[in-house]
A and B are shown apart, each in its own frame.
Chain A
Amino acid sequence: MGVLLIRWVLAVTLLLTCALGFKSDELLLDDEEFGIEGGRSSSFHSDSLPPSTAATSTSWKRFSESASDSKIQFTLQHAFGDSDFSDAGNFSARLKTWGHGGQTLTKLRFKRDPLTDVEKKSFQELLRGDDFYRIRLPSNVLSPPGREYIISSVKARCLPGDGLEEHFVIHMEGVNVLAVNYGAPGSCSYPRLLKLPAKWSFKSHTVLKNSEQAPRTPIFAEDALGGEEGDGEGVKPIERSFWAKYWMYLIPLGLIVMNAVTQAMNMPEDQPGGQPGAPAQQQPGSAVQRGPSSGAVRRR
């Protein structure tokens, strides 16, 4: 265990020193699993890997470090516009073999080859023409290229930031690569403007993704009988307050009562208010009061 750790640290430092000018973001996904892996490593043997795949492969190397996991490499190739693909870098990862025969990759690391002058020139061409920068990966990391290469591409103008920035999301299924989501780590606003990078080196981020489990369908045993029933809501008689039930009767009633009360309150006021000289109220009583006076006028 300890030896393994030291070796691993050495490997990392070696990689870091090798990587000139760019940092390779390692994947921090399955860190714990790796630890566990080391712990029970003694029970596994490296030859649990299918030997045929090992024999046929040419571009990956396997270092039998521990009994259960091995290191593999696969190459990233790139193309500028419609040019042919050429090697651009190397992915290295640990291949874990599970007890049930499944294999997964962990600890993916990426090291990009520095761009040559020719490549820089073709990249500038791409930037001017707003063309595609294309990459490809083998669809099977054990026996590249597998069935077919996985291609992904991005408009070259999306990549230049400070230097050149790229972001890989590699979708895996066991040792098969399904797809690569390749692009700039952030935004790539439209319209894309021509912008040459300050530094001709890639800053790479890589993420490995495996399939998620779908959430299980909830099962309610007690609902099994009532499950088929009409609409699943609203049917249960919720305790409704008195207000909720009878508001439509109560509100008009309330209005009537209020009206009656105001009338009743006004009534006593009217008696004194009806006297001459008092300010005329707007109550219906006033009209009645005015009645005789105006009648008197007419009668005249």
Chain B
Amino acid sequence: MAMAIRVFLLLLFFLSSTNIGYSLYEDQVGLMDWHQQYIGKVKHALFHTQKTGRKRVLVSTEENVVASLDLRHGEIFWRHVLGTNDVVDGLDIALGKYVITLSSDGSILRAWNLPDGQMVWETSLQGSKTSKSILYIPKNPKSDKDDLILVFGKGSLHAVSSIDGEVLWRKDFAGESIEVSHIIQSTDKIYVAGFVGSSKFYVYGLNADSGELLKNDHTILPCDTFGELLSVSGDKFVVLDKMRSKILTINIKNGEISYKQTLISDLIKESSGQAVILPSRLPELFALRIDSLVLTIKVTNEDDLVLVDKINNAAAVSDALSISEGQHAFAFIQHEGSNIHLFVKDVNDWNGDLLKESIIIDHQRGNIEKIFINNYVRTDRSYGFRALMVMEDHSLLLVQQGEIVWSREDGLASVVDVTTSELPVEKEGVSVATVEQNLFEWLKGHVLKLKGTLMIASPEDVVAIQAMRLRSSEKSKMTRDHNGFRKLLIVLTRAGKVFALHTGDGRVVWSILLHTLRKTEVCEHPVGLNIYQWQVPHHHALDENPSILVVGRCGPSLAAPAALSFIDAYTGKELNSLRLAHTIAQVIPLPYTDSTEQRLHLIIDIDQHAYLYPRTPEAIDILQREFSNVYWYSVEDDNGIVRGHALKTNCIHKIVDEYCFDFRDLWSIVFPSESEKIIATVTRKSNEVVHTQAKVMTDYDVMYKYVSNNILFVANAAPKATGEIGTATPEEAWLVIYIIDTVTGRILHRMTHHGCQGPVHAVFSENWVVYHYFNLRAHRYEMSVIEVYDQSRADNKDVWKFVLGKHNLTSPISSYYRPEVTTKSQSYFFTHSVKAIEVTLTSKGITSKQLLIGTIGDQVLALDKRFLDPRRTLNPSQAEKEEGIIPLTDSLPIIPQSYITHSLKVEGLRGIVTVPAKLESTSLVFAYGVDLFFTQIAPSRTYDSLTEDFSYALLLLTIVALVAAIFVTWVLSERKDLQEKWK
């Protein structure tokens, strides 16, 4: 018997060990997961009209993406996400078949094949100093020699062959201290123009074939200049003077510099505001913005300025587009209420419009920031125009014939913060018609499924089954489901727009451009900081909609003024917004809610005050009750100090504010600045649920997890070793790890990894922390785990103690106990470098955990926590094996099937968010970067539910068949019985 039990256990163990790899079948892709590809805010766009193939537009974006989009539908043909530090500075087309990009401050030049985006060549350009980078591809249809690419970057001018990327010649300007702003090419000469200081204008003439310096000339302008130099035509430039009252026209005909000054007040009488030259390139023209007025000014051959037109409320002006020999068109946009007017005009013929359209654009997209135009030949042989518009919320629109042909929500490429919200509960009372409809559909679906299961489905049926599964109307419903799979993901983007995405199919349910995060005169660079759950109604307050809090600030500095917005999570309406009188250094959601389930938040400003929100008397009451139990900490990264704080009294201000509190420092930890620098801090998630505190060891011993919400993990690196890997020797690199109690400031654990350095990515869950770093001695990445156990409860092992109630498990825990903790830790090698690390969360915390690792390849790897168990030994005993301890290996395995992103890539991965579903076995995972990816994972398989493709019809059929068989056999046996009796 014992043998049988052992055999059974062994079998269970083998079964469980095969479950490690979480993987799915090919036809399951897209059932629970969705993937969206974005490119980010477009910086530059180039249309190309290839004779063959479909029409496309090339774009480079602020997320460092180079992409080719379909002009008809806005789909991505190909896309390359360059690294985070590889900022694209220039984009152009060479030879009609290569896309040329200049990136990394003018040091990397790449050519991509236009149709498919394959990289053709890459050249790295050397230079000695950082400077502005300019990409210039001469458009000279007459010259038959191979196209030259002129690149100014790193303080030197490079001439690069566009065929193979070879650097033909290089001229260093690093010694001349000139800020080059333009490259001009005449037949066989190249002129480089720029400023030294702000008033000395230099022009260098170079031989186009050899880069030899032919001549240089300079002139001293009569006044300092303001802003960028704008090229009006080949050899003419305009620039504003420092007072912004004059326009300087510079002409460099044949290398001779001449200039002219014109007062702005001569052009327009009633000008009052500050003038700015718009960077649109128009032939013989330029655009000047004064307040809301845009002036178009023509530069005559004699360098005189002539005012051509005044445009009111112009939002954006495009570059000129050459439509035929000598004919140039350009577009501008005029706002008028919710309508916008798109004008396309001929540069030379100012009176008529080539195109005038008015379009209604959703005001949640904000203003138009950039416009690019392209022409096409209409069916009646006239010229048509289409415009690509970049909106304030970073979305991209294509407008043609007065309609929005397609739009892309590219703001979602720059997600800043994510939170979730439950969907509304389903209302009672469903009409009969829908039920009947559903019943028929249901039956049909199940018949199809049955066919599929019995392998008698025709190919069409298979397609229908797959489509049905994908459609699976259930999953995209706008109501709460029993399993908690359907939720709203609420994301805040860098543009200050908040989107609600449905977890079922990833569609945008609502979006709102927050006016507190829009650029205004008082707030030049608004940034969205964080998003919090403000109000999460439960049972008794279900008739209220949940709401979320968005915290924003004007500019990156902590001292900038801040604003709060409250948004209804179901409708996306802004409920309230506050411009705060104080600054925001830290937002602390407190674990208390008021009677309407609004969560109390403390906002700490930089002047050592804490402000309570919501500002209601009830909130004050609640806080007064818990006044002495509110603790928080702050980390001063650059200073190397961690401090703990507690509330003290109301503020002593001139104005009495009962929602303002002073606080005091309770503790401080000062890391020695000569040997340690803080590089990472991680805490536990406040919403994490721990199922059991006890952990039963193999020898029936019990260990108690040290589970505390006030626990902080700090990783410090040696100051010399905070740079890139390879800049420090193993002797001068070390990593010091701390686990700190944030109420009392006790250091619970402290450990040094010698010869290791950052970057450190860490995740804290339950009683353990897992962190990833680089080991310089082993030349490999490592992951370590530390588990913290509570020793003060360790003697609660005796059953009799429990029976007699002599244990201390129910006594309240205070942080002022002197903790007796032990730690266990172990390190393993890990092949990949890591971009983000997260752990699965489930609703009750029973299911075993998986680490979600965002790898350098922009994929998400699910690694079982059992691999990072400090109790792993080389030869685990039989009992340990049965418990699931894996034999010790020096490196962590990477199982290809356990990539939860399967074959997809979340380009530019920045973060992973996990949310528990209501079903205990399942956790929802949202990964964001330039792309978005969402899936459900079940770390221990879905042990608590049937799989989605479980065929209920087959089950029903089987039961029916069985019942029928019972009856038939019963009748048969009866009959036989009777016959036997008659024998």
Contacts and interface: CB of A to CB of B under 8 A. Distances in A.
Q: Say if A and B assemble together.
A: yes
Interface of A: 82, 130, 132, 134, 139-140, 146-155, 158, 167, 169, 171, 173-174, 176-179, 181-190, 192, 209, 211-220, 223, 227-234, 241, 243-244, 247, 291, 294-295, 298
A234 B17 contact: yes
Given A232-B887, A234-B17, A212 B668 contact: no
A181 B981 contact: no
B10 A173 contact: no
Interface in B775-827: 775, 778, 782, 784, 811-814, 816-818, 825-827
Given A152-B744, A213-B752, 13 more contacts: A148-B641, A149-B668, A151-B665, A151-B668, A152-B666, A173-B672, A187-B818, A212-B751, A215-B827, A220-B889, A223-B890, A232-B886, A298-B981
B670 A148 contact: yes
Nearest to B3: A243
B48 interface: no
Contacts of A192: 814
A45 to B, nearest CB: 23
A213 B751 contact: yes
A173 B673 CA distance: 11
Nearest to B824: A215
Interface of B: 3-4, 7, 10-11, 14, 17-18, 20-21, 628, 641, 646, 648, 664-673, 675-676, 736-737, 740, 744-747, 750-754, 775, 778, 782, 784, 811-814, 816-818, 825-829, 831, 867, 874, 886-891, 893-895, 980-981
A231 B750 contact: no
Nearest to B783: A217
B891 A228 contact: yes
Contacts of B812: 189-190
Contacts of A218: 874, 888, 890
A188 B817 contact: yes
Given A215-B826, A217-B782, A233 B672 contact: no
Contact of A214 (B827, B828, B891): B827
A24 B895 CA distance: 58
Contact of B670 (A146, A182, A228, A244): A146
Contacts of A219: 778, 890
A158 B20 CA distance: 48
5 contacts: A148-B641, A188-B816, A188-B817, A219-B890, A291-B981
Contacts of A295: 981
Given A178-B670, A217-B829, A223 B818 contact: no
Contacts of A190: 812-814, 816
Task: Tell me whether chain B's interface is mostly helix, strand or loop, or mixed.
Answer: mixed
Nearest to B816: A188
Contact of A211 (B10, B752, B829, B981): B752
Contact of A184 (B671, B813, B818): B818
Contacts of B736: 211
Given A173-B676, A230-B895, A214 B747 contact: no
A217 B671 CA distance: 26
Nearest to B640: A147
Contacts of A189: 811-812, 814
Nearest to B814: A190
Contacts of B11: 244
A232 B671 contact: no
B768 to A, nearest CB: 15
A219 B648 CA distance: 53
The 8 closest A-B pairs by CB, nearest first: A234-B17, A188-B816, A176-B672, A181-B746, A217-B827, A190-B814, A179-B669, A139-B670
Contacts of A188: 814, 816-817
A182 B668 CA distance: 12
A216 B751 CA distance: 12
Contacts of A214: 737, 751-754, 784, 825, 827
Given A223-B890, A244-B10, A234 B668 contact: no
B779 to A, nearest CB: 12
A228 B814 contact: no
A179 B747 contact: yes
Most B-side CB within 10 Å, residue of A134, A140, A232? A232
A242 to B, nearest CB: 11
Contacts of A151: 665-668, 745
B672 A247 contact: no
A178 B814 contact: no
A221 B146 CA distance: 56
B208 to A, nearest CB: 54
A79 to B, nearest CB: 10
A151 B645 CA distance: 11
B673 A147 contact: yes
B187 to A, nearest CB: 61
Contact of B818 (A186, A211, A213): A186
Contacts of B778: 217, 219
Given A179-B747, A183-B744, A228-B831, A148 B737 contact: no
Contact of B980 (A147, A174, A223, A291): A291
Contacts of A211: 736, 750-752
A229 B754 contact: no
A231 B20 CA distance: 8
A213 B667 contact: no
Given A82-B664, A171-B747, A233 B17 contact: yes
Given A232-B889, A291-B981, A183 B750 contact: no
A140 B817 CA distance: 28
A183 B816 CA distance: 7
Nearest to B15: A234
A156 to B, nearest CB: 11
A230 B981 CA distance: 66
A190 B811 CA distance: 9
A243 B6 CA distance: 11
Contacts of B818: 167, 181, 183-187
